[in-house]
Chains A and B, each alone.
Chain A
Amino acid sequence: MNHSLSVGMEVPPLRKGPVTHTDLVKYSGASGDFNPIHTVESFAIEVGLGGVIAHGMLTMAYVGQMLTDFAGMDADLVDFRVRFRAMVRPGDTVVCRGMVSGIKEDDSGSLVTLQVDAETQRQETVVKGTATLRYR
């Protein structure tokens, strides 16, 4: 049971970036996603992207960090879903945000659902989704 949470409560936002080319190379290596649209500028231009773009999963990981920071030692992340809506590019800053949208009590504790998103400094929503934390 968690009594300190209420619907409408905001998760402390997490600011990440500015994203660098090196970040994208590091994420490629750490994730095994070597698609050249994330690392090879000439390739990304050739396929019409206008330059390299960040991995969607990197932005999702940023939102994940906000959620696990918020959950701390009190909760487990049980569901996490996002839709990728726009591209993040080197130089971009990403702000991850969340808001408690529902609280459901059951036998083993409470399930807290959140609306989450991430926005760049251009005020463009790059990912949008939902998450569920289980408090025991």
Chain B
Amino acid sequence: MDKSIVGVWSQPVANVVERGAVRKFADAIGDPNLLYRDEEYARGTRFGRMIAPPTFCRTFDFGIIEGLDIAQEGLIHGEQSFHFERPIYVGEELWCSECLSDTYTRSGGSGKMTFLIFEQKGETKDGELVFTSRANVIRKEGPDA
């Protein structure tokens, strides 16, 4: 893996937190929380508006890291973390980007494995940081790789 790609951020992409997408996501995870689907209810809470489930931000488009070419096949999701400055609001626009923050290869009993660590962030148009996240992805290399 070409290490020069490490730390290169994608061009941020605007993601609108769509009400229908949030409701569909909440349905798919089987979470009946009214904050994700009932505007009137949400208005009466301290949030003042509908929000998205925390892991919803994994579904955003984070743009393309120029020069990064990794086959999706055979990737294993090893770890995932999120940090929230505040909840994600339905209807807001978040500018999302990501970078490969580290990569290394280890040899173990089951062969060679490449570790890829991706970091993401989501900001408002005014540059207010809303969340950061990190995904550790593992690729098992074949014996000939």
Interface, chain A (partner B; CB < 8 A): 16, 23, 26-27, 29-32, 35, 47, 56-58, 60-62, 64-65, 67-69, 73, 76-84
- The segment from B2-10, B51-59, B97-105, B116-124 found at the interface with A is B51-59
Given contacts A79-B81, A80-B54, A81-B81, is CB(A68)–CB(B33) below 8 Å? Answer: yes
B28 interface residue per 8 A CB criterion: yes
Residues on B with beta carbons closer than 8 Å to the beta carbon of A32: 59
- Chain B facing A: main interface SS: mixed
B111 interface residue per 8 A CB criterion: no
Number of interface residues of B (CB under 8 A): 31
Please tell me which one of the listed residues A27, A35, A60, A67 contacts residue B72 in the complex, with CB atoms under 8 A apart.
A35
Beta-carbon contact of B29 and A27 below 8 Å: yes
Q: Which of B7-43 contact A (CB under 8 A)?
A: 21, 24-25, 27-31, 33
Given contacts A23-B30, A65-B31, A68-B33, is CB(A31)–CB(B84) below 8 Å? Answer: no
In the assembled complex, 21 residue pairs joining A and B whose CB atoms fall closer than 8 Å, in A order, are: A29-B28, A30-B25, A30-B59, A57-B58, A60-B80, A62-B29, A65-B29, A65-B30, A68-B33, A68-B53, A73-B46, A77-B84, A79-B81, A79-B84, A80-B55, A80-B82, A81-B79, A81-B80, A81-B81, A83-B78, A84-B79
Beta-carbon contact of B29 and A58 below 8 Å: yes
Beta-carbon contact of B80 and A30 below 8 Å: no
> In the assembly, what is the distance between CA of A16 and CA of B29, in Å?
9
Please tell me which one of the listed residues A27, A30, A79 contacts residue B83 in the complex, with CB atoms under 8 A apart.
A79
> In the assembly, what is the distance between CA of A82 and CA of B55, in Å?
12
Beta-carbon contact of B80 and A56 below 8 Å: yes
B125 interface residue per 8 A CB criterion: no
Beta-carbon contact of A65 and B53 below 8 Å: yes
Q: How far is the CB of A130 from chain B (nearest CB, A)?
A: 9
Beta-carbon contact of B21 and A30 below 8 Å: yes
Given contacts A30-B28, A57-B58, A68-B33, is CB(A73)–CB(B81) below 8 Å? Answer: no
B107 interface residue per 8 A CB criterion: no
> In the assembly, what is the distance between CA of A82 and CA of B31, in Å?
19
Residues on B with beta carbons closer than 8 Å to the beta carbon of A26: 27-28
> In the assembly, what is the distance between CA of A58 and CA of B125, in Å?
29
Who on chain B is nearest to A81 by CB?
B81
Which residue among B25, B54, B82 has the maximum number of chain A CB atoms within 10 Å of its CB? Answer: B54
6 further interface pairs, Cβ-Cβ under 8 Å (given A58-B29, A76-B84): A30-B59, A57-B77, A61-B29, A64-B29, A76-B87, A80-B54
